[in-house]
Amino acid sequence: MKKLMIYGATGYTGRMAATHAKEAGLDIVIAGRDDTRLADLAAALGVESGVFSLEHPNDIADALSGMTVLLNCAGPFHRTAKPLMTACIGSGVHYLDIAAELDSYHLAEELDLQAQQAGVMLLPGSGGSVAMLGCLTRHVVQRVPAPQSIRIALHVSGSMSRGSALSATENMTESMARVAGRLVARDTDDTRSFDFGHGPVACFPVTLPDLITLWKDTRVPDIDTFVHVSGNAFPQGDLAALPDGPSAAEREQHRYQVAVEVTGIDQRTARAVLDTVNGYAFTPLAAAEAARRVLAGECRPGFQTPAGLFGEDFVLSIADTVIVDR
């Protein structure tokens, strides 16, 4: 029987992804480095567990024996993506993760040919904002003749998980955009207004992995990514003292939105807005659903994106998600 391994399963998002995967009837093995926490979670879910670190490639290869798909939920991904992607390619195991940093995506580009030759798929961002932004953009791009530019903004609402906050501080990078197909530095003061459904709000430029994934999916030459933050999404102080993540009540209270504008060669612009559940609810749901589909045979060797692999309707398979054209 095909098996899914979830690495980092005892983390905030990993626990939810493992729970959703188990509820979906998938044959899962949870893994990580903390044997006590893994044993407790394995007992609660009634699944197998495996303990291994990422320092020794042979240990990873041994742990992946018998697996079909690996879902990496262990951030920061600039530490975990390379050893796990490399091991997956060597072991013939499809790789998925939930990274919101560029490292996984640059690495997937670099390993694309190697993965193709091994018949292994690399699907970073299988859940989360990459799936949201990619599916919405794919929906709108098809309405625009000869699209030339994409401007897309994510509304981040509510609090951030401890893991996300720590990853964000370790991956601070200059603000970038894609211009004429190339990644270039951009002015951090170049704010832009987007309407997420309740009137225009100011959004600031930020370097999102969608600069790689949207380019891969659409080949639109100019891509700008923005974020609007409400609530206490970017915490201050001692990040290690933060709770694991927002509570169920907090997730219920704070929904996420995405707004996109696609302009064609005739200078006409098409717009749409996606409204969905909180990002910390969406990510484990989407990652578990992506894993289910890959286990069922929806896969292509090499570097792929959720929107490119599953199509624009993938995002609508997550409960309580809607797209409104404007």
pLDDT in tens, 312-321: 999 999 989 9
Contacts 24+ apart (CB under 8 A), 56-60: 57/83, 57/86, 57/87, 57/90, 60/84, 60/87
Report whether CATH 3.30.360.10 matches the domain 129-279+315-325.
yes
Q: How far apart are CA 132 and CA 128, in angstroms?
A: 7
pLDDT tens string 166-201: 555 555 567 899 999 999 999 888 899 999 999 999
Contact 107, 83 (CB under 8 A): no
Has residue 35 got a pLDDT over 80? Answer: yes
pLDDT at 246: 86
Q: How much of the chain exceeds pLDDT 90, in percent?
A: 83
Neighbouring CB atoms inside 10 A of 317's CB total 15
pLDDT score of 219 more than 70: yes
The domain ranges of the chain are 4-127+283-314, 129-279+315-325
Selected residue with higher pLDDT from 144 and 161: 144
CB proximity list for 250: less than 8 A, separation 6 or greater: 158, 159, 278
Name the DSSP letter for residue 212: H
pLDDT band at 233 (very low <50, low <70, confident <90, very high): low
At 235, phi and psi to the nearest 5? Answer: -70, 160
User: Tokens 């200078």 belong to which residue?
Assistant: 267
Q: What is the reported pLDDT for 189?
A: 84
Instruction: Give the span between the Cα atoms of 299 and 310, in whole angstroms.
Output: 9
Respond yes or no on whether the N-terminal peptide bond of residue 284 is cis (omega within 30° of 0): no
Higher pLDDT: 54 or 232? It is 54
Q: What pLDDT, on a 0 to 100 scale, did the predictor assign at position 114?
A: 98
CB 125 within 8 A of CB 312: no
**pLDDT tens-digit series, residues 258-299:** 999 999 999 999 999 999 999 999 999 999 999 999 999 999
Over residues 45-60, the pLDDT tens digits come to 999 999 999 999 999 9
Which CATH code fits 4-127+283-314?
A: 3.40.50.720
Residue 159's pLDDT band, with cuts at 50, 70 and 90, is: confident
Closest Cα partner for 150 from 230, 216, 228?
216
User: DSSP label at 322?
Assistant: E
Measured CA to CA in angstroms, residue 172 lies from 44, 78, 167 at distances of 37, 12, 9
DSSP 65: T
> DSSP readout, 135-162?
HHHHHHHTTSSSEEEEEEEEEEES---H
The pLDDT, as a whole number, for residue 235 is 57
Q: pLDDT band for position 141 (50/70/90)?
A: very high
Mean pLDDT of the chain: 93
Distance CA 208, CA 231 (A): 20
The pLDDT-based confidence of 244 (bands split at 50, 70, 90) is confident
Tokens (6 digits) for 105: 């995506």
Look at residue 90 and tell me whether its pLDDT is greater than 90: yes
Amino acid at 319: A
